[in-house]
Chains A and B, each alone.
Chain A
Amino acid sequence: MNLILLAVIFLGAIGAIGATVLYFVSQAFHVEEDPRIGRIQDILPAANCGGCGYPGCAGFAGACVKAEVLDELFCPVGGSETMNKVAGILGKTVREKIPMIAVVRCNGNCENRLRTNYYDGTSNCAISSSLYGGDTGCSYGCLGHGDCVDACSFDAIHINPETLLPEVDEGKCTSCGACVKACPKQLIQLRKKGIKSRRIYVGCMNKDKGVIARKSCNVACIACSKCQKVCPFEAITIEDNLASINDDRCRLCRKCVDECPTSAIVELNFPLKKEKPLIVEEDPISII
C-alpha cells in the first residue's frame, strides 16, 4: 500500500512540475499571430501545392493578410470561390479569375509517332530529355515517363497506357501549374477552361520544318497556315513552324479543326458532329 502511495505521489509531483514548466515556457515564447491568418488557412484547400507561388497554404494566408490588394494573389486550387471568401474575411475585393486547366500539347501516340530507338535509362523525363531527343523521331514530343504525374498533388494527370501520353482529369485539375514546371519539353500549358469545358488547341509543339515534323509524327503541326487563314477571329499565329491558338481570341468555332490536314488541332468536349462523322472517326482524340 505504502509503495503504491509513494508511486502516485512521485508521479503526480513529476507531472505537476512538468505542467508548470510548460506553462511558463509557452508564456515566454508566445508569438502574437494575426488571427485572420488562421481563419484564412481554414478556408484554403490545404493542398500545399505551391501553385500560388508561396511555400504552402500558410505562407499564402500570411501573404494575403499582408497584401494591400489581393489582385496579385490567387489560389489556383480553390479558385474564385475561395478567393472571394478570403476577401470577405479581409474586407478586400478580388478580381474574378477565369478558370484555367492544364492541356498537354502533344498528340503523338504510339500509332502516330513511331518509335525509332529504345530508351533504357532511368524512367524520368528530365533525365531522358537531358540525354537526347527521345525515343521517337520527334525531339519535341512527350517522352511519356510521367514527370508530370509525379509532380501533380491532386492525382489529376495520368499516363494513358495505350497512347503513352498524359491525360488531364478535368474534374481534379486545379491548374496549379506543377506539371507545367515539371515537363522538360514544355508541352503542358494552362489554358482557359472554356464554356462547358470546351477547348481547342494545337496538340503539337514541334518546331521543325513541316516535312521533317510530318515524317516523325502523323499528327504534327506542319505550319501550313491553313488554320490561320480560316480563323475568323485572328486567334491563330504561326511562329517557328508551329501554330498556336490564342485562347483569349478563340471563340471555339472549330473551323480550324476541320481545316487542319494533319489533325494536329485538338477539340475537347464538343458534341459529335452529325454532318461529318468521317472526320470524327479519323481523329481519335476528339472522341472523349
Chain B
Amino acid sequence: MLKQLIVSPSPHIHSGDSIEKKMYGVFVALIPAFLVSLLYFGLGALIVTAVSIASCVLFEFLIQKFLIKGKITIFDGSAILTGLLLAFNLPSNLPVWIVVIGASVAIGIGKMSFGGLGNNIFNPALVGRVFLLISFPAQMTTWPEPGFFPVTYADATTGATTLAMMKAHFGVLPSFVSMTLGKMGGSLGEVSAIALILGFVYMLWKKIITWHIPVSIVGTVFIFFTIVISAHTGEFAVKFPLYQVFSGGLLLGAIFMATDYVTSPMSKKGMLIYGFGIGILTSVIRRYGSYPEGVSFAVLIMNALTPLINTYFKPKRFGEVVKNG
C-alpha cells in the first residue's frame, strides 16, 4: 500500500548529472597527460602529484571541519582536481614541503576563504602556483631534463624550457615532434601537447566543456605571434607561433585551467572574450614581459574580470534583437 506521496514543484525528473561526474570527467581527461609526465619525469612526478592531491584534500577537510565547522565536501572531486592541476603546474623536482605550501595557499586562500566551491573568484590551483612562482622563483623555474621513467634527478640535468630558450635566443630548440610528445623541460603536466589535446577531445565528447575558451585562447596566441613575428622578420612566420602554442603551459592553461567552471564566464560570447583576453595577455607577457611564461597570470587576471564579463555579455534572449523572418 502507498505511504505518503512525495510532492514537489516540477520538473520531476533530473538528468542525473552531478558535480562529481563533472569533476571526475576532468580527472579522466587529465590521465593521458599524467601518464606522459610519469614517463618523462618518473618518480618525481608521482610524488609531487600525490603530495599535492593529498594536501589539498587534507587542507579542505581541516578547514571545513575546524574553521567553518560546516559540511565536509572533500569527495565532490573539486579538491582532488585542484590538487592534480596544481601538481601539473609544478616542476617534478620541487621539494615536497613547497608543494604542501602551494596546496595550502590554493585551498586556503584560493578557495575556502571565498566560501568554498563555487564562490571563489580565482582558479585555486593557479593561485597556489603563482604564489609559489613568486615566493620560490629558483625552485619553480628549474626543470629536470626529461628521461625515461627516471627515479632520481641529477642536479646538473636541469634544463630551461623551450619558452625561456626562445625568449633568450639561446640553446637548441627541441624538435617539433618531441615537443608535441612532451619530451622537453617544463612543469610536469604541461609538456605533452598530444596528451592534453586528447583530454580536450574527451571533455568535448563528454560535454564537460565547450570549445569556446580553449580555441579562442590558442587562436589568439597563434595569430598574435604570427603577426608580430612576421612584422619583425619581414616574412610570413609559422614555425615560431606554433612553438609558442605547443610549448609552456598554454595548452594546459587553455584546456584545463581557463575552462574551470567557477571562474570562467557563462555565456558563449563572454567565453570568447575571456579567451581572447587570456590569449592577448599571455602573448604580451611572453613577448614583452620579464617572465618567459604568462598563462597563469593571464588566466588569473581574466578570472578577476569574469564577473564583469558576465554582467555585460549575457546570452541572447529569446525574441531579443533576433531578426524575425
Docked CA distance A121–B11 (Å)? 10
A120 touches B7 (CB 8 A): yes
Residues of A within 8 A of B8 (CB): 119-121, 131
Task: Give the residues from 85 to 128 in chain A that come closer than 8 angstroms, CB to CB, to chain B.
Answer: 115-122, 127
Residue B115 CB within 8 A of the other chain: no
The answer for the CA separation of A113 and B7 in the assembled complex, in Å, is: 18
Q: How large is the interface on A (under 10, 10 to 19, 20 to 34, 35 or more residues)?
A: 10 to 19
Determine whether the beta carbon of B9 is less than 8 Å from that of A118. no
Q: For A132, what are the chain B residues with a Cβ–Cβ distance below 8 Å?
A: 7
B67 CB within 8 Å of chain A: no
Nearest chain B CB to A136 CB, angstrom units: 11
A267 at the interface (CB under 8 A from B): no
Chain B residues in 8 Å Cβ range of A127: 9
- Give Cα A109 to B6, complex, Å: 20
Assess the B5–A131 pair: CB atoms within 8 A: no
Q: Kindly state the separation between the CA atoms of A120 and B4 in the bound complex, as whole angstroms.
A: 12
Question: With A and B bound together, what is the CA distance between A66 and B295 in angstroms?
Answer: 59
CA distance A181 to B30 in the complex (A): 52
Provide the B1-36 mask, 1 if CB < 8 A to any CB of A, else 0: 000111111000000000000000000000000000
Mark each residue of chain B from 34 to 65: 1 if its CB lies under 8 Å from any CB of chain A, else 0: 00000000000000000000000000000000
Contact of A116 with B4 in the complex, beta carbons under 8 Å: yes
Asked if B7 and A117 sit within 8 Å, CB to CB, the answer is: yes
The closest CB in chain B to the CB of A131 belongs to: B9
A11 and B197 CA atoms in complex are apart in Å by: 52
Cβ of B13 to closest chain A Cβ, rounded Å: 13
Task: Please provide the chain A residues from 132 to 174 with a CB less than 8 Å away from any CB of chain B in the complex.
Answer: 132, 135
Residue from B4, B5, B7, B8 having most chain A Cβ neighbours under 10 A: B7
Contact mask for chain B residues 52-88; partner A; CB cutoff 8 A; 1 contact, 0 none: 0000000000000000000000000000000000000
Residues of A within 8 A of B4 (CB): 115-118
**What's the nearest-Cβ distance from chain A to residue B79, in Å?**
27
Chain A residues with Cβ below 8 Å from B6 are: 117-120
Residues of A close to B7: CB separation below 8 A:
117-121, 131-132, 135
B5 smallest CB distance to A (angstroms): 5
Q: List 14 A-B contacts (CB under 8 A).
A: A115-B4, A117-B6, A118-B5, A118-B6, A118-B7, A119-B6, A119-B8, A120-B6, A121-B8, A121-B9, A131-B7, A131-B9, A132-B7, A135-B7
The 3 closest A-B pairs by CB, nearest first: A121-B8, A120-B8, A121-B9
